[in-house]
Every structure is written in structure tokens, then in C-alpha cells.
Amino acid sequence: MRVAFSDLSTPPPTWAEIFGNPNPVEVEIGPGKGAFLLAMARNYPERNFFGVEISKRRAFRLAHLIEREGLANAIVIHADIGCLLRTFIWPNSVSVYHLYFPDPWWKRRHQKRRLLRDDFAHLLASTLAPGGKIFLASDVPDYFAALVQQLTAVPSLTRFPWQRDHVTRKGKPILTDCERKYREAGHSLLYAGFHKHV
């Protein structure tokens, strides 16, 4: 993990300062074990990938894998995306948000811990660059519907019928760890895309 950010009195670094280049930045929220982020970074060196993972163990494990592969275009940070959206991520700066099977806490009693709380959808939209996209996948219909509803309510966003099109340079699908597991188990999965107006 290469980003240290402890002084809230100074402005956060820009993506160009963090990655050392002006390439577009894609943020994966909750990369977990990191199969998707690692594969995307390997296949698309002209884009930067920034993982935000609230589990310390997972974040450190993924940071180790990134270092081991020497992927200069990938970074993972141990943080809560809800906090980063308010303090760290510049408005209109993210080219893509990847939000895949984001909430392990979808049961009603876990509602307080959900990403969906507060103004999550508005914060995502405001930090997204004009023309930027949000890709969403879930296996929990109620949760998916609630998230889609929140995002649809943001005036600057429009939904489009995204299925699955993240592939390697050779056209092989790039899946997340959960996605692979759920597909193998025969679960039906839900996908949606949103883009921000230019």
C-alpha cells in the first residue's frame, strides 16, 4: 500500500500524483481477494486501478500480490469507501467505479453497515468524471434493486443495459472471485451499468 494520508488539513493528492501518470483511474470498491483488480491491471496497463478495501487482512494480502507482480498501475488502500468519497477522492475524477457483490451485510439487521446508507449514490456520481461509468453486480435481488433505485434517482446518471464485457486482451472474461464462485454454483446474477452525463 503506497498511499499515506493522515493530514486532513492539506488537500488530498490527485490521481496523477498518486499513480505518477495522467491515465484514467478505475476504482474497485471492495476488491476482496482481488482477482478482478489484478487481472484488469495486468491486461490494461494504460489504465490505473485503485482498490478500496475495508478488510485490513484482504487489503494487505492484495497489496502483497500487487507488489509481487510489480503492477505499477494498481494500488489498494485499506479504507471505508464511504469515508474516502467524502475526504479523499476529488470531484469529477474517477473514470469507472466497479461495485461487485459489494455488501456482505444485506440482511435487514445489518442495514446500518450497508454501503447504501446516506448519500452514497450522490457521492459516487459527484466523484465520477463526466462520461464516466459505474458497473454493478449482485446476487441479492432486493439489495440490487435498492442500489439501482438509488443510482437511478441521481439526475446526472443514466442506466444502460450492461451485461458483462470485461475481458482479457485475448477476449477471455475477467471475473471477480465471487462472480466465479456464484456462476459455478449456478446462481443467477444481476448486472447494471450507469453513465454520467457529459
Ligand X SMILES: C[S@@+](CC[C@H](N)C(=O)[O-])C[C@H]1O[C@@H](n2cnc3c(N)ncnc32)[C@H](O)[C@@H]1O
- Where in 53-82 is the site for ligand X (CB under 6 A)? 53-55, 58, 80-82
* Binding region for ligand X (CB under 6 A) out of 98-106, 145-153, 161-169, 188-196: 98-106
* Binding region for ligand X (CB under 6 A) out of 18-26, 128-136, 144-152, 173-181: 173-181
Measure the CA–CA gap between 46 and 51, rounded to whole angstroms.
17
Q: Does 51 bind ligand X (CB under 6 A)?
A: no
Phi, psi of 25 (to 5 degrees): -115, 130
Catalytic annotation, pick one of 7, 80, 103, 142: 103
Q: Does 30 bind ligand X (CB under 6 A)?
A: yes
Residue whose entry in the numeric block shows the C-alpha cell 439487521: 109
Q: Which of 48, 126, 138, 176 binds ligand X (CB under 6 A)?
A: 176
Measure the CA–CA gap between 150 and 189, rounded to whole angstroms.
19
CB of 188 to ligand X, least distance (A): 16
What are the residue ranges of helices labelled H in the chain?
A: 15-19, 35-43, 56-69, 81-87, 120-127, 141-152, 177-184
CB of 80 to ligand X, least distance (A): 4
Which active-site residues does the annotation give?
103
